[in-house]
Amino acid sequence: VCKPRMAEYKYILYERIDHTAVVRLNRPEKLNAMNLDVIAELSSVMDTISSDDSIKAVIITGVGEKAFCAGADIEYMSKINPLEAEQYAIKGHASMSKIENLNKPVIAAVNGYALGGGCELALASDIRIASKNAMLGQPEVNLGICPGWGGTQRLARIVGVAKAKELIFTGKRVSAEEALSIGLVNKVVELPKLMEEALAMANEIAKNSALAVRVSKMLINRGIESDINTGLGLEVWGWSLCFSHIDRTERMTRFLQKK
């Protein structure tokens, strides 16, 4: 019998806590900056998580107390040729899209700097919880590039066009509190409480029907790209799909039997 073997990762730590998958970027000496290998490993762990029905929620965070992720690896980018840059772009986009479209909710536990690609990683997640020391921003224009892993698109959708333009054009960093005030993060907590809070939210999600949560995520993501009638049409289909699952029958029966 061939048992599936958990892939060994060099730059990420992967662990299961009950129904939650916890993925930690593990390159603290470089503030968890993402080179091609980090991106490839992130992509691979998302495939593993995606096919495991026992996982109900995912937390992405960084190792250390200083950084969630300081962005794309500037040293690596300074050396690559156009063909390598193409691979970096394609694989980076694929990774972010895998997170955004993952069949489970993803919580970014932002434990410090989330800059450039690091902020984009948080933006590709569904929910962001930040520690008080977190600093978020898109400083790419300082380096002569624009945000390239979805920052120009997702940031504007999350905080609105005007704030996204301010953040991207100035490249300035915002504190966790300011990020909270503009809707860039959902919640701010003390650093030692960050994982506890993220796990508590993941557990709250895990108590609900996995199919209903999954369908809701898909409907919100697709709907935001569509006109309202297309979105509502999708909602009819998604809602009806929930009736195909025993979960709906059991949960409604439990309610009616006052269990």
Catalytic residue ranges: 120, 140
Q: What are phi and psi of 4, to 5 degrees?
A: -65, 135
Helices marked H in the chain — which ranges?
Answer: 36-50, 74-79, 82-100, 117-124, 156-159, 161-170, 176-181, 194-206, 210-224, 228-241, 246-256
For 222: left if phi > 0, alpha if psi spans -120 to 50, otherwise beta; the answer is: alpha
168 in contact with ligand DAK (CB under 6 A): no
117 in contact with ligand DAK (CB under 6 A): yes
Nearer to ligand DAK, 134 or 213 (CB): 134
74 in contact with ligand DAK (CB under 6 A): yes
**Residues 142, 147, 153, 158: what is their CA dihedral angle, to the nearest 10 degrees?**
-60
Q: Select from 92, 98, 123, 130 the one that contacts ligand DAK (CB under 6 A).
A: 92
Residue with tokens 């698109």: 153
62 in contact with ligand DAK (CB under 6 A): no
Q: Are 223 and 234 in contact (CB under 8 A)?
A: yes
Nearer to ligand DAK, 62 or 105 (CB): 62
Helix axes 36-50, 82-100, angle to 10 degrees: 30
Nearer to ligand DAK, 88 or 206 (CB): 88
Which distant-in-sequence residues (6+ apart) come within 8 Å of 245 by Cβ? 209, 211
User: What is the bridge-based pairing of β-strands 127-131 and 173-175?
Assistant: unpaired
Which stretch, 13-21, 88-96, 125-133, 202-210, contacts ligand DAK (CB under 6 A)?
Answer: 88-96
> Which residue has the closest beta carbon to ligand DAK?
116
116 in contact with ligand DAK (CB under 6 A): yes
40 in contact with ligand DAK (CB under 6 A): no
DSSP labels, 74-91? HHHHHH--HHHHHHHHHH
140 in contact with ligand DAK (CB under 6 A): yes
- State the minimum distance, in angstroms, from the CB of residue 157 to ligand DAK: 17
89 in contact with ligand DAK (CB under 6 A): yes
Q: Binders of ligand DAK: how many residues, by CB under 6 A?
A: 22
57 in contact with ligand DAK (CB under 6 A): no
167 in contact with ligand DAK (CB under 6 A): no
Q: Which residues bind to ligand DAK, rule: CB under 6 A? A: 30-31, 33, 70-75, 85, 88-89, 92, 113, 115-117, 139-140, 143, 148-149
